[in-house]
Amino acid sequence: MSAISPKMAASINDQIKAELESSYLYLAMSTYLEDQNLKGMAHWLRTQAKEELGHVEKLMHYLSERGVRVLLDALAKPKAEFDGPLGVFRAVLAHERAVTERLSKMMDLAIEEKDHMTAATLRWFIEEQIEEESSPEDIVKKLEFVGTSNTSVYLLDKELAQR
């Protein structure tokens, strides 16, 4: 049944690992911010971690529907220390930009292989990356604007708790 190439299947399995590592990283960031008593920002990142797990499930389901076995690999230990909330959200933004690049390369492979079903699936992920980059970029801009003002960081923390 599978018309998906071994190279494409390996790429998707690798992306599953990357999405799991994203979730793991965001959980590590969340615990760091929780320790800084920034519970709203920690909540934002836990929510983001759950969203990444949703991406994992979507990719796993896709491979299963295509008759390809999902192969899970070991995850890298995430970084545990960051340079305050601004450092965390700059790292989130950089990470999401790297994910966008990974997905773009996967799309290039799908197009090269004329794998239209995979391309259609990847299109959803690529469109999702608009929000995945936009949200942390907005937070970075706000944190850069408020600087080290405790009151402003506190208000932003409250805002992010609403996610």
Q: pLDDT tens digits, residue range 61-118?
A: 999 999 999 999 999 999 999 999 999 999 999 999 999 999 999 999 999 999 999 9
**pLDDT tens-digit readout, 21-65:** 999 999 999 999 999 999 999 999 999 999 999 999 999 999 999
Query: Would you mind telling me the total number of residues written for the chain in this entry?
Result: 163
Closest CA to 42 of 55, 51, 29, 53: 29
Q: What is the predicted pLDDT for the residue at 2? A: 56
Neighbours of 30 (CB within 10 A): 22
Specify the DSSP class assigned to residue 153: H
Specify the DSSP class assigned to residue 85: H
Q: Does position 144 have pLDDT exceeding 80, yes or no?
A: yes
Q: What is the predicted pLDDT for the residue at 90? A: 97
Per-residue pLDDT, averaged over 137-149, amounts to: 93
Q: Does position 1 have pLDDT exceeding 70, yes or no?
A: no
Q: What are the residues whose beta carbons fall under 8 Å from the beta carbon of 159, sequence distance 6 or more?
A: 40
Q: What is the predicted pLDDT for the residue at 138? A: 97
Tell me, rounded to whole angstroms, the distance of Cα 100 from its chain centroid: 9
Closest CA to 155 of 143, 141, 138: 143
